[in-house]
Structure 1
């Protein structure tokens, strides 16, 4: 058979002999071979190298445990991130953006001081008055936490007590603030109202910007009890 093919090649024109010889060689080398090549051996799947490319049905029992462990860890990590994000959002809302946040009450008090002529007479130009928390040795570090507390009294009313510092071209001072949130049934709408707002400047008399005890109909006025009855 081989001699016949060799004779056929010799009888062909010289220009076609290389092509026929190559085809003959390819046919002979291809005999007895199989079309299915052995699949390359893959790496063992672990929780650290699993990229999800290997189908679940091709995993061994140990590899399935590894994938489950990895997915459980990833889910827990995502859940933890969601909880932390929610916590930060809650703190930001209650401390900054809420109408009852301490930042809102602080800004309102500062604006009220800047608009009061008695305060500007002692502190100086309202545009140059700054307010900050606890004093610090670093004159540039004015962004200090504002000292404040919240509590409820025996009547269920919420109290907000705050103090901070103000500084102007002429003097420095300390501001004390006390607000009370009356009960909803009191008819005050459940919003904080001033019990007092004061400014103390060393060497000068205290300035009352708000004083509920001096206002007869203020819902924040101090209550006294006589014979078991609350009197304002």
Structure 2
């Protein structure tokens, strides 16, 4: 006798299985889809985050094309400021160099004039004898305005320059000399006509207290002698 019982369907048999078994069967039949991402690609690299470029932290390493509008403005401001600082430094250096040359290294600078006049005083036998010391003035010292600091004595030289109506430049200077016996004051007057390069002596004298003035240069005295020649009682006779 043939049985008429219908065998159960596979779906019904599957439904009778436990839930964990059905999940394993589902993953085996329908595997999960894999989606490509930027991190799973073999040639992709993650983009490194960077700080925003500002005037204070810009080092110039980031290319100009990668900067935003605000960052470009910050870099332009920083570079403009750096350029101004460099130009100011160049101008200041040039000014200091010019002053240093005029005051120290130039042949007509006050320091150069002081050194030449001091050497003349030390080389004059009358001055050396009055101040004391050995021949050649090796014991005679020359210095500027006295000060409580002995280091400042060689730095402060009293002098002034002025130009008259004819364009002649006048240089006035005085400083001090000191020897083993006495000390004195040196007075100097030099002139330089307009267009000329070097100064000429008009007056150079050494004054020591209690002694007669010593003249090393006195151009005005020569003029006075020429004016007095041929005159007697205020009348020119020859």
**TM-score of the superposed pair, with normalisation by structure 2:** 0.73
Counterparts of 1:190 and 1:140 in 2: how far apart (Å)? 33
Pairs within 5 Å for 1:1-232: 32=36, 33-34=40-41, 35-125=43-133, 126-184=137-195, 189-216=196-223
The CA distance in 2 between the partners of 1:210 and 1:181, in whole Å, is 16
Q: Distance in 1 between matches of 2:194 and 2:56?
A: 58
Q: 1:140 to 1:52 in 2, by over 3 A?
A: closer
Structure exhibiting the larger radius of gyration computed from Cα positions: 2
2:7 maps to what in 1? none
Instruction: Indicate the larger mover: 137-146 or 64-73.
Output: 137-146
Match for residue 24 of structure 1?
Answer: none
Give 3-state SS (helix, strand or coil) of 1:127's partner: coil
TM-superposed CA distance for 1:142, in Å, is 2.0
- Once the 2 structures are TM-superposed, how far is the Cα of residue 49 of structure 1 from its aligned partner? 1.0
Cα deviation per residue 1:78-132 (whole Å; 9 max; x = unaligned)? Answer: 1111011001100111001111111111111000000111100111221021111
1:140 Cα offset (Å): 4.6
Gapped runs of 5+ residues in structure 2? 1-34, 224-238
- Could you say what the CA RMSD is over the residues aligned between the two structures, in angstroms? 1.7
Aligned-pair CA distance for 1:138: 2.9
- Number of equivalences: 183
Distance in 1, matches of 2:105 and 2:171, equals: 17
- TM norm structure 1: 0.75
